[in-house]
Structure 1
Amino acid sequence: MTYLIALDRYRHFSRAAESCGVSQPALSAAIRQMEAELGITIIRRTRRFNGLTDEGKRVLEWARQTLAALDGLRQEAAFAQEVAGGTISIGLMPPAMQTIPLLLESFRTAVPGLHIQVRMGSSADTIHRLRQQQLDLGLVYLDQIPDDSPFDTLPLYTEQHVLVAAEPLVLPAGRQDWSSLADLPLCLLGPEMRSRQIVDAAFRGAGISPGIVLETNSLEVLYGELLAGRLASILPVAALPTHTGHARLQVRPLGPCAAPEVGLVRLASSLPTALSTRIWNTAAGVNMHDVFTIG
């Protein structure tokens, strides 16, 4: 296509070949090959270049449009390599709430002009929204993603549950067994939440019925009771109220329980955007295992 455009411009085989940096026989052979592939005559030939046929003129116009589109694509690719900005939406489950400041800081460093939308919801709700292309990324329990699902997954950390309380409640030092919590007044997340289901399974495994005083799907409500020292709680490390600056908060590791991986999910694509690739690779470099592991 480049050779044909050059030939129309210079109206001379030798000068067209020179402008393209090839020999005249190479240019002539390439144009003959194009004619053979298309099954038409493009150039009127005598002993010299004698113009284009009507079919050749149409091919020339097509070639110009194609090369212009290709040039635009190259410019878009060069721009995308810089990824100067854009918008990305993230679905976040409440038990992973404290991961979001780490991710947002890393994303903004990688893409300074980035606009971010964060939507709170359960893992199931986030996965549904991803399927509907209402979200770009989701932070969910990875064991809820089927092996044959249309998603890419990126593990970030393994969830750990801990016992937490504030004065005047006083917790014993060291790691706590589930069986030792039977008489402790507790505020827990609602039973519909996956994090709570993990806690319930651990209590059943220990053969005890916990003293649950409050159940809520709101972390803010739970934090109010917890930080007032009225009730203890069992939470993932990534859901602890670190933003309060409460100096008397006591955190104790717990005995064994299910520890699912938490990570990012996105719809798989054979051609992910430059922004999606930059964000994904940035998240892969964030060390969350050390941040959200205690004892």
Structure 2
Amino acid sequence: MFLRQLTYLLALDRFHHFSRAAEACGVSQPALSAGIRQLEAELGITIIQRNRRFYGLTAEGERVLAWARQTLAALDGLRQEAALAQDVAGGSLAIGVIPAAIQVVPLLLERFRAVVPALHVEVKICSSRDMVHLLREHTLQLGLMYLDQVPVDSPFETSALYAEVPVLAAAKSMPLPAAKTIEWKDIAAVPLCLFTTEMRSRQLVDAGFRNAGVKPTILLETNALELLHAELLSGRLASILPVAALPERVGPEGLQTRRIGPSASPDVGLVRLDQSNGTALLERVWSVVRALKLDDIYMP
């Protein structure tokens, strides 16, 4: 069995198309098809459903795919170990991040590169649920997410970074209640742009209004943080966001914020698979994570 055949299988699962999978692997379509057939012959099972087109994996193929992911992830770890043995300054890391914590990423990367200067990082924005799935599949090595979304009794190790603090934010031109801390009922008439309802930080906002017995004035809902920032900076709408999701660049007029009470403050932190044989790179980065506490930074 060749490792390249496992790579072909992962590419097929990703693209669901023989030609695009072959292009991603840098081989011809006949070479990729032959490699998959050779893998099937060696294992004595049918891995993919096909005629002239790719129709998906068989049940046996799904099990082989899971095994292939683990094998190639282990191989990547071995390669990183070898690279670190020669040069401890580099390596690659894939990190998943929830939209509400995106502004934390530059600080994390700064701390990581202090101990691994040539670190290459791929950052993927995704939900907590998708992040857990990608961590299990070894597609991600770290996830920045709500820690109460980590499945109970799961094979994950966590490290809290800060307790999320929601604030009402608006351009300085928009009239807001004067007090630095306000209640949910004080916001009911303020025109808002918010995350969509499937997102955890929006669910916390909805719970705040519901517990206060008031209905908010919501004029825009989106899963794109950039659009919320644009509306805030334009002065058209206010928003309720975690402090860690506020825009860094707030324009010449800046933003005004009000803390909201009472509010839920779930912990946000980093998550990884709990592995006894983690790579030297991941162990080095995790040692940085364990020393980080950001509550002082992400408080209004």
TM-score scaled by structure 1? 0.71
**Change in CA separation of 1:81 and 1:256 when aligned onto 2, cut-off 3 Å:** farther
Q: Say if 2:281 is the partner of 1:275.
A: yes
- In structure 2, the residue matched to 1:190 is 196
Find the aligned partners of 1:110 and 1:259 in 2 and give their Cα distance.
31
- In structure 1, the residue matched to 2:97 is 92
Residue number among 264, 267, 286 corresponding to 1:261 in the alignment: 267
Matching residue's letter, 1:225: E
Residue number among 275, 284, 299 corresponding to 1:293 in the alignment: 299
- In structure 2, the residue matched to 1:52 is none
Q: Say if 2:151 is the partner of 1:151.
A: no
Matching residue's letter, 1:192: E
State the 4+ residue runs in structure 1 displaced beyond 6 angstroms: none
Q: Which runs of 5+ in 1 are unaligned?
A: 1-72
Q: Say if 2:219 is the partner of 1:213.
A: yes
Find the aligned partners of 1:216 and 1:85 in 2 and give their Cα distance.
37
| CA positional deviation for 1:139 | 0.4
- In structure 1, the residue matched to 2:245 is 239
- In structure 2, the residue matched to 1:10 is none
| CA positional deviation for 1:287 | 3.2
3-state SS, counterpart of residue 235 of structure 2: coil
CA RMSD of aligned residues (A): 1.9
Give the structure with higher Rg (CA): 1
3-state SS, counterpart of residue 135 of structure 1: coil
**Change in CA separation of 1:161 and 1:246 when aligned onto 2, cut-off 3 Å:** farther
8 Å Cα contact 2:84/2:90 also seen in 1: no
| CA positional deviation for 1:230 | 0.8
| CA positional deviation for 1:279 | 0.4
- In structure 1, the residue matched to 2:167 is 162
Deviations 1:12-45 (A, max 9, x none): xxxxxxxxxxxxxxxxxxxxxxxxxxxxxxxxxx
Number of equivalent positions: 220
Find the aligned partners of 2:238 and 2:259 in 1 and give their Cα distance.
14
Residue number among 226, 237, 241 corresponding to 2:232 in the alignment: 226
8 Å Cα contact 2:160/2:293 also seen in 1: no
8 Å Cα contact 1:98/1:239 also seen in 2: yes
Find the aligned partners of 2:151 and 2:227 in 1 and give their Cα distance.
33
**Change in CA separation of 1:180 and 1:244 when aligned onto 2, cut-off 3 Å:** closer
Find the aligned partners of 1:212 and 1:93 in 2 and give their Cα distance.
22
Find the aligned partners of 1:139 and 1:81 in 2 and give their Cα distance.
30
| CA positional deviation for 1:182 | 1.1
| CA positional deviation for 1:80 | 4.3
Q: Which runs of 5+ in 2 are unaligned?
A: 1-77
Find the aligned partners of 1:176 and 1:201 in 2 and give their Cα distance.
16
- In structure 2, the residue matched to 1:107 is 112
8 Å Cα contact 2:112/2:285 also seen in 1: yes
- In structure 2, the residue matched to 1:204 is 210
Q: Percent identity?
A: 55
Matching residue's letter, 2:239: S
